[in-house]
Amino acid sequence: GEDVEQSLFLSVREGDSSVINCTYTDSSSTYLYWYKQEPGAGLQLLTYIFSNMDMKQDQRLTVLLNKKDKHLSLRIADTQTGDSAIYFCAEILPGRSSARQLTFGSGTQLTVLP
Amino acid sequence: NAGVTQTPKFQVLKTGQSMTLQCAQDMNHEYMSWYRQDPGMGLRLIHYSVGAGITDQGEVPNGYNVSRSTTEDFPLRLLSAAPSQTSVYFCASSKQGNGGYTFGSGTRLTVV
């Protein structure tokens, strides 16, 4: 089946910027999401972007959307040790948009080194 | 508000046993979902509901049943546990779906 794809691991130095990339499946997706999962916890919605936007900024977070390439990225500025977590990209399940259910990538484990 | 509450947090079952994972939300959300999380595979949708009395299958429904008799509760039943059902299970809810989901803290299930 079709998959939302993410790289599995990313390591950055504290204070640097992190960029987490995602390729999604459905060019008609209207909403795309980034979730954060800390160890032993559930998923926390970080931000989402509407498909009619190219960019959304929220404090240290910047989301970029390239609809032509079905590419979504999350940039975290001034990355801190507390940002170490798994980050999931998600879209509304292709083909079943009326159900408004999410399909997730495999997650990117971000490790912030001191 | 408690948000989304899942019980139990941990459970060990023997193969063939049945059990129910509980999920409750107090936000009057219409949409509720069950996911399982396995290493390297992200979250996969098991079953979902778009309102009381309405349920549907997700990507991996086999071996699981759900019901939605009230807006607040969405229990997940394992009919006859198998080692392949060892996983972390998350329940999530949303007012309208498009604005994102609120997740519970998960149930870690081990089937031996």
pLDDT in tens, B49-93: 999 999 999 989 999 999 999 999 999 999 999 999 999 999 999
Give me the residue from A4, A30, A33 closest to B100, CB to CB: A33
Partners of B77 in the beta sheet?
B20, B65
> For residues B86 and B75, what is the distance between their CA atoms, to the nearest angstrom?
18
B40: DSSP letter: T
Question: For residue A50, is pLDDT > 70?
Answer: yes
Question: For residue B1, is pLDDT > 60?
Answer: yes
- Alpha helical stretches, state H, A4-104: none
Determine whether the interchain pair B42/A104 forms a contact, defined as Cβ–Cβ distance below 8 Å: yes
pLDDT at B98: 72
Give me the residue from A42, A102, A104 closest to B106, CB to CB: A42
In chain A, DSSP finds a helix count (H) and a strand count (E) of 0, 11
**A4 in contact with B, Cβ within 8 Å:** yes
Name chain A contacts of B104, Cβ cutoff 8 Å: 42
Q: Which residue has the higher pLDDT, B45 or A93?
A: B45
Place of tokens 């219409």: B30
By CB neighbour count within 10 A (0-12 exposed, 13-18 middle, 19+ buried), where does B65 fall? middle
Q: Is the dihedral of CA B64, B7, B43, A39 positive or negative?
A: negative
**B3 in contact with A, Cβ within 8 Å:** no
